[in-house]
């Protein structure tokens, strides 16, 4: 044959293979200029006459005007919930279940729109809002929908009754998912709710109001009030509430617990954490590295159960850190709407300041900082994935919750020392253990003082799996059969 | 504290380097990572680059009992010039045939850069005496094969005679002379990712230039997690010793989209240095036409018909 | 024939398995006795003793804890007279003993009733287990002096917690009689600690103590608001009796731990 290779226009081999931007279209979300409060099934202007702007943390672009609910607005919302409670709590449980099933379906149908809105308003990568937040939020409603008419089987020998009006305050890291964690069990148990989303991420909660309309949730059963911390404080102080469920910082959680002292208001708190991710020398190393990366860089580290303290068995420290740094270099930081983005924007300038301050303290206290080379966008709030080695247990970065993409690496020598160091914190939300030895996983799981222990995995969530803290990470469980109890009283 | 078993001293690499620890692999996490990488969204120029690269990485393969000189000549023509309608489309890396057809392929590919690869060592089962396997290898090399794709003895591996597997790879490597050696693990028969990792390290220790997933005759053939597992073994060897080993996935890769997924796994695990036919190959036949079709679609912006591309 | 003068008991505190006087040297005259008036420092010592006891008691097998508590019922039974004299009488004692027996039987059933295996949507095995919260402060109700304390103390114990109890202020003798039954049973030292004295002095110390994990305020009355405010400082679990006797009363002193593990080859 003797064909000779023809000259051809070479497709140049690049120095790096840059995946071209692959943007999720934002036109799927149509935002109003202004969002009022969602009270009694209507969108209303706040009596406070005060508004604030929610902005996109990745571009600093203003997205919409949001109502700032004052004391009178909060009272109105609680009143609407009180009113709705009379009929909702007496509705046939099987009918309540169907309302929740509908919500779940509508969330699935509108998943793409809500995912884009979540990434726009909160800065998290679209692949996370698309693959984690939205599917889990819908699953949560599905799960609790099924419980609504089976409560007597969840608590045999007791007679479960709804509490009344639940005041629910959710954080900015998983706005819609935390809304689902709060609203689904509350409604399933026959309560009505007043929910306050975080100041910086109100959009998906307000879009959820429209989901309620489509699902024909009766007016007043779900009320959404927006605003800053003062709105939350009004809500907790309001007399007509029977239950407070709060997810957020330990500091605010304590203030709420104090505020409710002596009142017959049931309380659950899901607060901060400083989880230890413990890696033994016999672990499946590459998968442990994935777990470490997922544990701390998932959602920019804005995760209460983030594995922010890496405890590595000294014998594999160097090898593990080498692998970890190499893996970090492949993380793509940037536009949250790019489907290839792994790490998005920091949620707010205030949070960026807090992260920067703590990272500076780490440098000042003598820990060794590493950040992979990455170009951060000019506009918006960004922080490169960061790992500190040579960290001492006494350093602030090893003790305080950073709530950002910052990992502190410490070492241990024996299983006992690992447990001791892991438990040496005021928090107790989660922990991870990586070892191939089955008996050691169980030994560790038994001794770690935290509400969730991930063995050879990390940051897994499921509606059927109870989640919540020990110690100052809070009390009460969300998820599973156990997640019903905080929304019921027993006669 | 438990340290996982280290390979015996015999498994030291040429040049004195030690292999990385044997280690273990968590299946769920590995599959999760592979699934995550499969979701990378590759567009525009980066997609054109990937499609072009994937074509250059193909070992265009025919391994049928019905193979004839005519079939091999047709395949060789396709290998040199996959898309007669577009001079910018590159040749594939190699044509892969049985030993008896190496000479035909050699002649058909003369003057081109396309290599001749031959399976050997009683492919696909590997169930033949060692001297027969070595004779198989020598015959292929003498007939002009640039590359030899051997199979490991899975019977020996699964019955714990890992030293025997190693010895055989060493012997085959020697029989190859100057030819490049690809070692097929037949991962579909190994039963677990732990075994895949162990087999990868044994093959590398024995002198493999490439490690390869499958013969294509056993299901499952290549899967993304299996490839990731092997690529991680290659990375560990490279990190610990600097030794460069190539990777070949074979069997079941028919769509351009799959090929791009493998390239993403490769890229994010081993880096841009491995994005070359010298270090990565696809063993495939029907994949090529889908790559051609997608490439033309990217360049013209119009969805194409499969009938535009030759069936060889 | 002259009447024999009875030998009177000195009612002291019960801390770390011993019966010390208050380090303050103070006593209160209650129910005809000079009862120890525990100080802040005594409360602190009791918390230290309780913390030390947590690992052993919570680490014991559930079967063992059940047996130990059943043994407590036995030692109470043999002290029926003394307990009856210190409480409202034999009926209360009988009720309290039966309650201990009832709770003792829960030790090795709790995990099955309060725990769960969770069908998560993925290749993971997932289960939830109850675990003790750690050190529990119990502010015992004023009345009934014995059964009121037992109703709150034993559900905390059966799950594996160590307890610092503040006895009924007007009727502290029953608590110390109970402590003597505890001391002669197989309950390890420090698992039960009993303070007598002024509730207003002791309860806030325990409520504000950062190494106490939960506080039962069933007997707190008017102090409840203050105690709950103090409890918020370290996010203490604040517990109040909801039912007279139930596994859910045990659950109030328990944490729930969820463990995940992949299922793979």
**Interface predicted TM-score of the whole assembly (ipTM), two decimals:** 0.96
Closest by CA to C138, choosing from C93, C83, C200, C192, is C192
Q: Give the span between the Cα atoms of C93 and C87, in whole angstroms.
A: 8
Q: Give the span between the Cα atoms of A323 and A330, in whole angstroms.
A: 11
Q: Which residues contact C48 (CB under 8 A, 6 or more apart)?
A: C16
Angle, CA C226 vertex, CA C221 and CA C228 arms, to 5°: 90
> Which candidate from B29, B191, B192 shows the least CB-CB separation from C262?
B29
A340 touches chain B (CB under 8 A): yes
Distance from CA of B35 to the nearest CA of C (A): 14
pLDDT at B15: 53
Low-confidence ranges of chain A (pLDDT < 50): 1-9
Reading the block at residue A15, the tokens are: 């120095």
CA C230 → CA A257, A268, B235, C37, C205, distances in Å? 10, 17, 56, 22, 9
**A259 burial class (0-12, 13-18, 19+ CB within 10 angstroms)?**
middle
Chain A residue with minimum CA distance to B266: A17
Q: What is the pLDDT of residues B192-231, one digit of tens each?
A: 999 999 999 999 999 999 999 999 999 999 999 999 999 9
pLDDT at B312: 81
Q: Give the span between the Cα atoms of B63 and B56, in whole angstroms.
A: 20
Q: Which residues pair with A243 in a beta bridge?
A: A166, A266
Report residue C78 CA to chain centroid gap. Answer: 21
Q: Give the span between the Cα atoms of A428 and A207, in whole angstroms.
A: 33
What value does the mean pLDDT take over residues C127-134?
98
Q: Give the span between the Cα atoms of A194 and A232, in whole angstroms.
A: 10
C121 touches chain B (CB under 8 A): no
B248-287 residues touching A, CB cutoff 8 A: 263, 267-268, 272, 275-276
Q: Which residues contact A431 (CB under 8 A, 6 or more apart)?
A: A275, A276, A277, A278, A422, A448, A450, A452, A453, A454
Distance from CA of A443 to the nearest CA of B (A): 14
Q: Which residues contact B254 (CB under 8 A, 6 or more apart)?
A: B284, B286, B287, B290
Residue tagged 């060789």 (tokens): B76
Q: What residues in B contact A2, CB-CB < 8 Å?
A: 110-111
Q: Give the span between the Cα atoms of A196 and A225, in whole angstroms.
A: 5
pLDDT at B16: 57
Active site (annotated) includes residue B212: yes
What single DSSP character describes residue A397?
H
Question: Per CATH, which fold does C27-262 belong to?
Answer: Aldehyde Dehydrogenase; Chain A, domain 1 (3.40.605)
Chain C residue with minimum CA distance to B194: C265
- State the CB neighbour count (10 A cutoff) for residue A351: 22
pLDDT at C222: 85
Low-confidence ranges of chain B (pLDDT < 50): 1-10
- To the nearest 10 degrees (0 to 180), the angle between helices B27-38 and A285-297 is 60
CB distance A475–C226 less than 8 Å? no
pLDDT at C2: 74
Q: Give the span between the Cα atoms of A39 and A37, in whole angstroms.
A: 6
Chain B residue with minimum CA distance to A458: B29
Tell me the pLDDT of chain C averaged across its residues.
97
Q: Give the span between the Cα atoms of B10 and B206, in whole angstroms.
A: 9
- Whether A384 and A364 have beta carbons less than 8 Å apart is answered as no
Q: What is the pLDDT of residues A211-252, one digit of tens each?
A: 999 999 999 999 999 999 999 999 999 999 999 999 999 999
Buried/exposed A18-45: b ≥16 CB within 10 Å, e otherwise: ebbbbebebeebebeeebbbbbbbebee
CB distance A5–B113 less than 8 Å? yes
Q: How many CA atoms lie within 13 A of C198 on its CB side?
A: 8
- Whether B47 and B297 have beta carbons less than 8 Å apart is answered as no
Selected for mutation to probe chain B from A6, A10, A11 (highest B CB count within 10 Å) is A11
- The stretches of A195-347 forming alpha helices (DSSP H) are 203-215, 229-237, 250-259, 285-297, 317-328
A276-295 residues touching B, CB cutoff 8 A: 280-287, 290-291
Chain A residue with minimum CA distance to C223: A262
Report residue A425 CA to chain centroid gap. Answer: 21
- The stretches of chain B forming alpha helices (DSSP H) are 27-38, 44-56, 69-80, 102-108, 130-142, 154-158, 162-176, 193-206, 224-241, 256-270, 287-300
Q: Give the span between the Cα atoms of B199 and B204, in whole angstroms.
A: 9
B90 touches chain A (CB under 8 A): yes
pLDDT at B22: 82
Q: Which residues contact A173 (CB under 8 A, 6 or more apart)?
A: A122, A299, A302, A303, A304, A347, A403
> φ and ψ at B62, to 5 degrees?
-135, 120
> Which candidate from A257, A426, A451 shows the least CB-CB separation from C257?
A451
Q: Which residues contact C225 (CB under 8 A, 6 or more apart)?
A: A261, A262
Q: What residues in B contact A330, CB-CB < 8 Å?
A: 268
pLDDT at B23: 86
CA B135 → CA B128, B131, B175, B244, distances in Å? 11, 6, 8, 28
In B77-114 the beta strands, taken as DSSP E runs, fall at 94-97
pLDDT at C221: 82
CB distance C265–B26 less than 8 Å? no
Q: Residues of chain A with pLDDT > 90: what percent?
A: 95
Distance from CA of C15 to the nearest CA of A (A): 24
CB distance C262–B191 less than 8 Å? no
B24 touches chain C (CB under 8 A): no
Distance from CA of A369 to the nearest CA of C (A): 31
Q: What is the dihedral of CA A142, A145, A150, A154, to 10 degrees?
A: 60
pLDDT at B17: 61
Output the DSSP codes for C58-91. HHS-HHHHHHHHHHHHHHHHHTHHHHHHHSS-HH
B191 touches chain C (CB under 8 A): yes
Task: Say how many residues make up chain B.
Answer: 312
Q: Of these residues, A24, A128, A199, A270, which one is catalytic?
A: A270
Active site (annotated) includes residue B312: no
Report residue A1 CA to chain centroid gap. Answer: 64
Q: Of these residues, B78, B115, B173, B212, which one is catalytic?
A: B212
Q: Of these residues, A304, A305, A401, A472, which one is catalytic?
A: A304
pLDDT at C1: 58
Active site (annotated) includes residue A304: yes
Q: Give the span between the Cα atoms of C244 and C102, in whole angstroms.
A: 12
Q: Give the span between the Cα atoms of A409 and A95, in whole angstroms.
A: 51
Q: Residues of chain C with pLDDT > 90: what percent?
A: 97
> Which candidate from A17, A18, A414 shows the least CB-CB separation from B275?
A17
Angle, CA A127 vertex, CA A123 and CA A133 arms, to 5°: 75
Q: Give the span between the Cα atoms of A284 and A456, in whole angstroms.
A: 8
Q: What is the biggest distance separating any 2 CA atoms in chain C, rounded to whole angstroms?
A: 88
- HEC sequence for A175-219: HHHHHHHHHHHHHHCCCEEEEECCCCCCHHHHHHHHHHHHHCCCC
A315 touches chain B (CB under 8 A): yes
Q: What is the pLDDT of residues C61-100, one digit of tens each?
A: 999 999 999 999 999 999 999 999 999 999 999 999 999 9
* Sheet containing C135-139: order of strands: C192-195, C162-166, C135-139, C214-216, C237-239
Output the DSSP codes for C152-220. HHHHHHHTT-EEEEEPPSS--HHHHHHHHHHHHTTPPTTSEEEE-S-HHHHHHHHHH-TT--EEE-TT-
pLDDT at A459: 98
Selected for mutation to probe chain A from C124, C247, C260 (highest A CB count within 10 Å) is C260
Classify strands B210-212 and B246-250 as parallel, antiparallel or unpaired: parallel
Q: Give the span between the Cα atoms of B304 and B8, in whole angstroms.
A: 55
C263 touches chain B (CB under 8 A): yes
Residue tagged 């602030």 (tokens): A396
pTM: 0.95
């Amino acid at each position: 044959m003797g064909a000779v290779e023809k000259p051809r226009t070479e497709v140049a081999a690049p120095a790096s293979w840059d995946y071209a931007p692959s943007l999720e279209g934002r036109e799927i979300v149509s935002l109003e200029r202004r969002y009022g409060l969602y009270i009694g099934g209507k969108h209303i202007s706040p009596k406070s006459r005060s508004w604030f702007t929610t902005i996109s943390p990745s571009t600093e672009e203003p997205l919409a005007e949001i109502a700032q609910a004052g004391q009178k607005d909060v009272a109105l919302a609680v009143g609407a919930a009180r009113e709705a409670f009379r009929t909702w709590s007496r509705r046939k449980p099987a009918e309540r279940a169907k309302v929740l099933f509908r919500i779940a379906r509508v969330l699935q149908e509108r998943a793409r729109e809500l995912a884009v809105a979540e990434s726009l308003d909160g800065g998290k990568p679209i692949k996370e809002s698309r693959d984690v937040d939205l599917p889990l939020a819908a699953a949560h409603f599905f799960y609790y929908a099924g419980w609504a008419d089976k409560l007597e089987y969840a608590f045999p020998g007791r007679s479960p009754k709804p509490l009344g009006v639940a005041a629910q305050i959710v954080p900015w890291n998983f706005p819609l998912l935390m809304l689902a964690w709060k609203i689904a069990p509350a409604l399933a148990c026959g309560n009505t709710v007043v929910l306050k989303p975080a100041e910086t991420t109100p959009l998906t909660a307000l879009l959820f109001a429209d989901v309620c309309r489509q699902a024909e949730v009766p007016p007043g059963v779900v009320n959404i009030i927006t605003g800053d911390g003062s709105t939350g404080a009004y809500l907790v102080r309001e007399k007509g509430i029977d239950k407070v469920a709060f997810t957020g910082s330990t500091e605010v959680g304590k203030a709420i617990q104090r505020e409710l002292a002596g009142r017959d208001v049931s309380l659950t708190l899901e607060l901060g954490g400083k989880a230890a991710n413990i890696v033994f020398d016999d672990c499946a190393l590459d998968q442990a590295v994935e777990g470490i990366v997922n544990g701390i860089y998932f959602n920019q580290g804005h995760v209460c159960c983030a594995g922010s303290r890496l405890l590595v068995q000294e014998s594999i420290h160097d090898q593990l850190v080498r692998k970890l740094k190499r893996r970090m270099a492949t993380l793509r930081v940037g536009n949250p709407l790019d489907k290839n983005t792994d790490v998005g924007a920091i949620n707010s300038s205030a949070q960026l300041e807090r992260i920067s301050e703590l990272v500076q303290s780490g440098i000042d206290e003598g820990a060794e900082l590493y950040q992979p080379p990455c170009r951060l966008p000019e506009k918006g709030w960004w922080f490169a994935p960061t790992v500190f080695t040579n960290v001492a247990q006494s350093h602030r970065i090893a003790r305080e919750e950073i709530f950002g993409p910052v990992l502190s690496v410490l070492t241990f020598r024996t299983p006992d020392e690992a447990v001791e160091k892991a438990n040496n914190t005021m928090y107790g939300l989660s922990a991870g253990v990586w070892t191939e030895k089955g008996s050691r996983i169980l030994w560790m799981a038994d001794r770690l003082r935290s509400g969730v222990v991930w063995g050879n995995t990390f940051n897994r969530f499921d509606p059927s799996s109870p989640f919540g803290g020990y110690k100052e990470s809070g009390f009460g469980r969300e998820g599973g059969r156990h997640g019903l109890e905080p929304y019921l009283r027993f006669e | 504290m438990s340290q996982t078993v280290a390979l015996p001293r015999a498994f030291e690499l040429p040049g004195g380097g030690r292999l990385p620890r044997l280690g273990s692999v968590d299946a769920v996490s590995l599959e999760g990572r592979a699934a995550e990488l499969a979701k990378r969204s590759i567009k525009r120029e980066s997609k054109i680059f990937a499609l072009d690269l994937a074509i250059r990485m193909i070992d265009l393969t025919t391994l049928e009992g019905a193979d004839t000189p005519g079939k091999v000549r047709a395949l060789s023509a396709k290998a040199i010039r996959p898309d007669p309608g577009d001079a910018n489309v590159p040749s594939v890396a190699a044509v892969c045939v049985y030993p008896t057809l190496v000479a035909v392929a050699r002649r058909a590919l003369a003057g081109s850069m396309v290599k001749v690869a031959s399976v050997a060592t009683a492919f696909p089962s590997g169930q033949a005496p060692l001297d027969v396997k070595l004779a198989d290898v020598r015959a292929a090399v003498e007939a002009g094969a640039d590359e030899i794709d051997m199979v490991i003895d899975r019977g020996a591996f699964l019955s714990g005679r890992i030293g025997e597997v190693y010895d055989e790879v060493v012997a085959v490597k020697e029989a190859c002379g100057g030819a490049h050696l690809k070692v097929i693990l037949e991962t579909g028969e190994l039963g677990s990712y732990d075994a895949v990792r162990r087999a990868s390290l044994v093959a590398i220790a024995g002198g493999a230039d490439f490690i390869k997933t499958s013969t294509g005759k056993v299901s499952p053939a290549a899967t993304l997690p299996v490839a990731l597992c092997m690529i991680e073994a290659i990375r560990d060897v490279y990190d610990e010793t600097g030794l460069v080993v190539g990777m070949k996935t074979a069997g079941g890769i028919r769509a351009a989209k799959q090929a791009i997924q493998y390239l993403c796994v490769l890229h994010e695990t081993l880096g841009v240095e491995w994005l070359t036919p010298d270090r990565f190959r696809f063993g495939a036949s029907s994949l090529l036409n889908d790559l051609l079709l997608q490439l033309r679609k990217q360049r013209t912006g119009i969805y194409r018909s499969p009938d535009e591309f030759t069936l060889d | 024939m002259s009447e024999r003068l009875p030998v009177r008991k000195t009612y002291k505190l019960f801390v770390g398995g011993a019966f010390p006087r208050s380090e303050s040297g103070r006593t209160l005259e209650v129910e005809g006795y000079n009862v120890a008036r525990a100080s802040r420092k005594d409360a602190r010592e009791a918390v230290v003793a309780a913390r030390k006891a947590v690992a052993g008691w919570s680490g014991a097998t559930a079967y063992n804890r059940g047996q130990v508590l059943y043994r407590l019922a036995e030692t109470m039974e043999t002290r029926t007279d003394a307990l009856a004299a210190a409480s409202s009488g034999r009926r209360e004692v009988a009720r309290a003993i039966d309650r201990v027996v009832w709770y003792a039987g829960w030790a090795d059933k709790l995990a099955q009733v309060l725990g769960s295996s969770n069908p998560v949507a993925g290749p993971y095995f997932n289960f939830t287990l109850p675990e003790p919260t750690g050190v529990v402060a119990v502010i015992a109700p004023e009345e009934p002096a014995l059964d009121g304390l037992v109703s709150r103390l034993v559900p905390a114990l059966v799950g594996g917690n160590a307890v610092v109890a503040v006895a009924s202020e007007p009727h502290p003798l029953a608590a110390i009689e109970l402590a003597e039954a505890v001391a002669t049973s197989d309950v390890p030292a420090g698992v039960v600690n009993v303070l007598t004295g002024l509730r207003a002095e002791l309860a806030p110390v325990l409520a504000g103590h950062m190494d106490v994990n939960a506080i039962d305020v069933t007997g707190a009355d008017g102090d409840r608001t203050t105690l709950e405010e103090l409890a918020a400082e370290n996010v203490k679990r604040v517990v109040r009796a909801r039912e007279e006797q139930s596994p859910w009363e045990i659950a109030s002193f328990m944490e729930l731990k969820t463990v995940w593990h992949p299922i793979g080859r």
